Structure 1
Amino acid sequence: MYRRLVPVAAAAMVLSGISMTSAYAAPVSADDSMFVKAAHQGNLAEIAAGQDARKNATTACVKKVGAVLVRDHTKLDADVKALAAKLNVTLPGSPTPEQKKQLAAVRAKAGTPAYDKAWLKVQEAAHTATLALIDKELSVGRNAEVKAAARSARPVVAMHLAMVRGGVCHAGKDAGKVRAGSGGHLAAGDDSLAVAGVAGLAGGGLLAAGGVLWFVRDRRRSPERS
Structure 2
Amino acid sequence: MRHHSRFAIAAAVVAVAMGTFAPSALADRHGGNDDQKFVVTIHQGNLAEIAAGTDTQMNAQDSCVKDVGRTLVRDHTKLDTDVKALAEKLDISLPATPTTDQQQQLRDIQDKAGSGGYDTAWLKAQEESHAATLKMIDEEIEDGGDAQVVAAAQKARPVVEMHLHMVRGGTCHVTG
TM-score band, normalised by shorter chain: 0.7 to 0.9
Shift of 1:90: 0.6
1:146 aligns with 2:163: no
Q: How far apart in 2 are the matches of 1:88 and 1:141? A: 17
1:121 aligns with 2:124: yes
Q: How far apart in 1 are the matches of 2:61 and 2:154? A: 34
**Which residue of structure 2 lines up, in the alignment, with residue 51 of structure 1?**
54
Instruction: Find 2:108's aligned residue among 101, 105, 108.
Output: 105
Kindly report which structure 2 residues correspond to 1:12-161, keeping only aligned pairs within 5 A, or say none. Answer: 30-161=33-164
Unaligned runs of 5+ in 1: 1-27, 175-226
Q: How far apart in 2 are the matches of 1:29 and 1:75? A: 29
Q: How far apart in 2 are the matches of 1:43 and 1:53? A: 16
Shift of 1:77: 2.2
Q: Give per-residue Cα distances to partners, 1:75-104, cap 9 Å, x unaligned.
A: 332221110010101112111111111100
Shift of 1:29: 7.5
Contact conserved, 1:76 with 1:153, CA < 8 A, in 2?
Answer: no
Shift of 1:127: 1.1
Larger Rg: 1
| RMSD after superposition | 1.5
Unaligned runs of 5+ in 2: 1-30
Structure showing greater relative contact order (alpha-carbon pairs closer than 8 Å, 6 or more residues apart): 2
Q: How far apart in 2 are the matches of 1:67 and 1:124? A: 16
Shift of 1:154: 1.8
Kindly report which structure 2 residues correspond to 1:156-171, keeping only aligned pairs within 5 A, or say none. Answer: 156-171=159-174
Kindly report which structure 2 residues correspond to 1:200-215, keeping only aligned pairs within 5 A, or say none. Answer: none
Q: How far apart in 2 are the matches of 1:74 and 1:137? A: 23
Q: How far apart in 2 are the matches of 1:126 and 1:92? A: 20
Q: How many residues were matched structurally?
A: 146
**Which residue of structure 1 lines up, in the alignment, with residue 20 of structure 2?**
none
